[in-house]
Copies of this chain bind each other. A is one copy, B any other.
Amino acid sequence: MLPRTYDAQTCSLARALEIVGERWTLLILRDVFLGVRRFDDFQARLDVSRTVLAGRLQRLVEEGILSRERYQERPDRYEYVLTRKGLDLWPAINALRAWGDVYETPNGPPRLFVHEPCGTPIEAVAYCPHCATVVAPEHVLTSRGPGYRPPAGSRRRPPPQPTHLLEPSV
């Protein structure tokens, strides 16, 4: 998806995709969640060129998603571990995985993910921490936030009223 960006889009989704939307990046991060930490292990699992893999890992380190840590000296060897910012991609990776499991795996999921204490398959949801409830898009109100910037050249206008997701607009 990169190196092209979504400059004209004042949108957190666009910003996220500029970083994790690069081809292979989410699959590398999937492998880190599965316990892979070392370059040669990523390479063996991903069947991707060493150049591409090295570039993706470097970008993830630069973006503060992975940390490169030395685990051996003489010769120096490094492994990659998730930072807090990287760990916080867990809901996104889990959500794409869960959707693929439902719609794109005719033989059933290739891998199961269950809650350890009870063995129940993990779901991916939007969640209200106040009500401790799963939230469907119909129950979400959206409005401009503090980081809103009007498109270049547009006239200043008062913010519109909050709208429900999925309500026809424009």
Residues of A within 8 A of B (CB): 1, 4, 6, 8-23, 26-27, 30, 33-38, 41, 45-47, 82, 85, 87-120, 122-137, 139-149, 162-170
Contacts and interface: CB of A to CB of B under 8 A. Distances in A.
Nearest to A144: B111
12 contacts: A9-B27, A11-B97, A11-B110, A16-B104, A45-B170, A94-B95, A111-B143, A112-B143, A115-B139, A115-B141, A116-B139, A124-B126
Given A135-B115, A145-B109, A148-B110, A13 B96 contact: yes
Contact of A170 (B35, B120, B145): B35
Given A12-B109, A96-B13, A33 B145 contact: no
Given A35-B168, A91-B125, A109-B145, A4 B17 contact: no
